[in-house]
Structure 1
Amino acid sequence: MPDVNKSAEEGSSFSSKVINSVFLLLLVDLLGFTLILPLLPSILDHYAQTGDVVYEFLQSVVGWFREAVGIPMERKYNSVLFGGLIGSLFSLLQFLLSPLTGALSDKYGRRPMLILVTLGMMSSYAVWAVSRSFSMFLLFRVIGGICKSNVTLCTAIVADLTCPKARNRGMAMIGVAFSLGFTVGPLMGAYLATSYKSTGNVFYQTPALLAFGFSTADLLFIWFMLPETLSKNAKGSSSGFRDLLNPLSLFHFSAVTRTKDPPAKEKMQKLQVLGLVYFCYLFLFSGLEFTLSFLTHQRFHFTSMQQGKMFFFTGVVMALIQGGYARRIKPGQQIRAVSMAIAVLIPAFVLIGLSWNVTMLYMGLLLYSFAAAVVIPCLSTLVSDHGSANQKGTVMGILRSLGALARAMGPVVASSVYWMAGAQTCFFLTSACFIVPLTFLRTAKRLKEE
């Protein structure tokens, strides 16, 4: 009995060390990643004056889309659309590379792949710091899109933990890192950009150098502190890499079945349904999240500062819910929690779409923040239960890839509906569409019971 207790204590201690390490690693990474968010409109305005050929081409693409869906010719809207185009490019690269990174981590280990992608992010920030043309800036975003697989690998690390409670807590803490990173990082970037005149540098150089410093700190932390969670016995398996490049195969998680120990048919069916829930949810959610900037500017004439305060509010609420409620959800209760959270999104977006004053808007944002804090951590925990020890990276990589595809497509579709049919129709229609992932969740629950 003493040996059993000692073993349990050691396992709990190791899980806590892994979760704390992943949290700090991701928080530092996301602080560097989000420094650019408040600077993007100013950066695009800066490069608009350089006459860069690539910039002019992309501007013509944005102009064509703006005219096609009837978006007014206004600087604010143009900046949002241009930023969305660059964000879609980043997401498409993530869609292509996340499954490969996850599969390679199953073969070579989590730490080596984390070191490799962190070196890639360091190089991208270095390119940003020295960029003096839009082409160089775009190269920075492309390198970042190729190498930004830290989240995939961190979720695979948490998925390696054998205790279901520890996995749930780990996924929730990843959510907390996201909320804090996307709350504090933009504030830091905005502050550093306003103090550039005293340094004599280009306004984005100091944030770029700080992002490089954050990545360097991450690299040192991985090298000296992060344990390898993939056991030696689990290494060396090879997934179907061709299936990782086929979008339809990704939805079927085909690469997971082409191994020596594929999951049972029932497990695969549930995994595929959860993948559809994840994609549908993020497709709808990211679209409304993107059009939120249109609505607040058009209806309430929000300035950039007011937009920043709005997202600061949602980030703080999400961090509190993830750190308090989400990480305490018991194993076996995740499907119920996700169903409740997605159901809450329906009145949340109806309130936002109908809002005739700021109070009503923030009531909707409060519900929105609760749902956003719960869905992704719980779905990640549910998916992490699938696959053997040598498949966790592949499974989590495919899940992240489906999310990236949803984030690339959602804003384009939602903004088209917004400007063609109006804000209320867009928010009402999309709110009603959340019934689709709720229906898939009922199927997942039935498969679980069977």
Structure 2
Amino acid sequence: MSIDKTSTSEDVRSSRVIWVVFFALLLDLLGFTLILPLLPSILDHYSQTGDGVYQSLQSVVDWFRGAVGVPMETKYNSVLFGGLIGSLYSFLQFLSSPVTGALSDVYGRKPLLLLTTVGLIASYILWALSHSFSLFLLSRVVGGICKGNVSLCTAVVADLPCPKARNKGMAMIGVAFSLGFTLGPLMGAYFALRRKDVEIFYQGPAILAVLFSIADLLFIFFTLPETLHKDSKGSSQTSAIQQSGDLLHPAALFNFTAVTRTENPPTQQRMQNLNVLGLVYFTYLFLFSGLEFTLSFLTHQRFQFSSMDQGKMFFFIGITMAVIQGGYARRVKPGHQIQTVRVAIASLIPAFLLIGIAWNLTLLYSGLFLYSFAAAIVVPCLSAQVSGHGSASQKGTVMGILRSLGALARAMGPVLASSVYWLAGAEICFILSSAFLIVPLTLLRRLERQKEE
């Protein structure tokens, strides 16, 4: 009877932590995504100011456009410029995520979450005050360095003792992503339109982002319990600093080397599984982010989509993902994640092919449905699977490294995919991407065979 009571109490505590993480991450993502529909207009605004930093970056974009044959059109220029800034943001996350995760293993999840949220507040204040492109770019740099909330939230969920709770928590993180990326851009566009009478049209959304982050800071401070127990904390600040080389070197990140340099390293078999899972995560996001980026090119070029049409398309993707994550992904049982991920990645093959050859909206949206299914399943399930590796004192480091690998993939994937898109055509780009999905599928099959043995 006492065991049942303990189990029930643990389930209640885990459920509370999951919901706190969900709302904290949702507030964070709402602030983060407000800028997404405004980025082209913001870039157009700064192009008229003659800012020296903007002109320097524009020359890089012009060189890239000429190298890969992108047509000289304002729409494409905005997408390429936005992609360059997005790659910079992802690269900064690649550098900061594993370090933030490792420090959370020393000081705890809650203090690091509060610290990164304060950094995000500062970045949004800089955005609101950015009368020059230099200050705007600085706000993105500060935001990229401090955007550790996602890896820290996954570490909080990874701290939960029950595999079933961890799986549900990772799925709810996915739901927060879907809702944030669905509602945030709509709110950003709405508040920008409301401020047409103001000289700086994006000031309204920027102030709203500050308010969301302040609300997030207060919510985390008052409601989130510390999930890293004192006896599970890393040995010292020095040990975390000593791991910094392993946390910033790409080869060491792929090998999860920092996890082995602890007093209680995982077994050799677990390390091998962790390495394979990290490679699967990187390969999937590398190919997926390439499709995600070139999708705007394809719909504008082939279907003449307006900004409103693009918004409707991404709304469809976001709502589909939220429904799948809330109804199916969170119910995937522990031990079935690898098989579920294989099915989801396999569904991307026809998704890529349908989108690549689509000559009407029916084919396009059929491909987008499969694309949304994969997007809703793969990252939450892989995160839940990875969270089971490493000791309690390593969860932050493990999840930070995983997040860093994803950021590196998102920094590289769009650049290569857009190059292939314009040099070889949309069909070749999407067909090649679908062919390379064999790589993560083969790696996952190897993991399943090891499990059977």
Offset of residue 203 of structure 1: 0.6
CA contact (8 A) 1:291 1:418 kept: yes
What's 2:428 paired with?
425
**Which of 229, 232, 235 is the aligned partner of 1:231?**
229
Q: Deviations over 1:382-404 (max 9, x none)?
A: 00000000000000000000000
Distance in structure 2 (CA, Å) of the matches to 1:236 and 1:254: 16
CA contact (8 A) 2:234 2:394 kept: no
Offset of residue 197 of structure 1: 2.7
Which residue identity does 2:313 align to in structure 1? M
Which residue identity does 1:224 align to in structure 2? F
**Which of 290, 302, 321 is the aligned partner of 1:287?**
290
Question: What is the DSSP-based 3-state SS (H/G/I as helix, E as strand, rest coil) of the residue aligned with 1:391?
Answer: helix
What's 2:24 paired with?
25
Are positions 1:67 and 2:70 aligned together?
Answer: no
What is the alpha-carbon root mean square deviation over aligned residues?
Answer: 0.8
Question: What is the DSSP-based 3-state SS (H/G/I as helix, E as strand, rest coil) of the residue aligned with 1:72?
Answer: coil
Which residue identity does 2:58 align to in structure 1? Q
Offset of residue 120 of structure 1: 0.2
What's 2:47 paired with?
48
TM-score (norm 2): 0.98
Distance in structure 1 (CA, Å) of the matches to 2:363 and 2:234: 55
Q: Percent identity?
A: 72
Q: Deviations over 1:415-443 (max 9, x none)?
A: 00000000000001111110000011112
Q: Deviations over 1:192-239 (max 9, x none)?
A: 1111035x3521001000000000001101111100000010113334
Identify unmatched segments of 5+ residues in structure 2: none
**Which of 316, 319, 324 is the aligned partner of 1:316?**
319
What's 2:391 paired with?
388
Distance in structure 1 (CA, Å) of the matches to 2:210 and 2:452: 48
Distance in structure 1 (CA, Å) of the matches to 2:225 and 2:422: 50
What's 2:377 paired with?
374
Distance in structure 1 (CA, Å) of the matches to 2:451 and 2:180: 34
Distance in structure 1 (CA, Å) of the matches to 2:199 and 2:265: 55
Are positions 1:89 and 2:92 aligned together?
Answer: no
What's 2:437 paired with?
434
Are positions 1:336 and 2:339 aligned together?
Answer: yes
What's 2:404 paired with?
401
Q: Deviations over 1:345-404 (max 9, x none)?
A: 000110011101011100110111011100000000000000000000000000000000
Are positions 1:154 and 2:157 aligned together?
Answer: no
Distance in structure 2 (CA, Å) of the matches to 1:223 and 1:371: 34
What's 2:105 paired with?
106
Distance in structure 1 (CA, Å) of the matches to 2:407 and 2:223: 29
What's 2:36 paired with?
37
CA contact (8 A) 1:384 1:395 kept: yes
Which residue identity does 2:225 align to in structure 1? P
CA contact (8 A) 1:175 1:377 kept: yes
Are positions 1:250 and 2:249 aligned together?
Answer: no
Distance in structure 2 (CA, Å) of the matches to 1:312 and 1:229: 34
CA contact (8 A) 2:106 2:234 kept: yes
What's 1:213 paired with?
211
Distance in structure 1 (CA, Å) of the matches to 2:182 and 2:442: 32
Q: Deviations over 1:95-148 (max 9, x none)?
A: 011000000000000000001000000000000111100000000000000000
Question: What is the DSSP-based 3-state SS (H/G/I as helix, E as strand, rest coil) of the residue aligned with 1:197?
Answer: coil
Are positions 1:122 and 2:125 aligned together?
Answer: no
Which residue identity does 2:164 align to in structure 1? K
Offset of residue 446 of structure 1: 2.3
Offset of residue 445 of structure 1: 1.6
Question: What is the DSSP-based 3-state SS (H/G/I as helix, E as strand, rest coil) of the residue aligned with 2:266?
Answer: coil
Distance in structure 2 (CA, Å) of the matches to 1:442 and 1:295: 32
Which residue identity does 2:210 align to in structure 1? F
Which residue identity does 1:301 align to in structure 2? Q
CA contact (8 A) 1:251 1:402 kept: yes
CA contact (8 A) 1:270 1:448 kept: no
Are positions 1:165 and 2:195 aligned together?
Answer: no
CA contact (8 A) 1:266 1:447 kept: no
Are positions 1:262 and 2:260 aligned together?
Answer: no
CA contact (8 A) 1:270 1:447 kept: no
What's 1:78 paired with?
77
Which residue identity does 2:264 align to in structure 1? D
CA contact (8 A) 1:159 1:167 kept: yes
Which residue identity does 1:194 align to in structure 2? L
TM-score (norm 1): 0.99
Offset of residue 161 of structure 1: 0.3
Identify unmatched segments of 5+ residues in structure 1: none
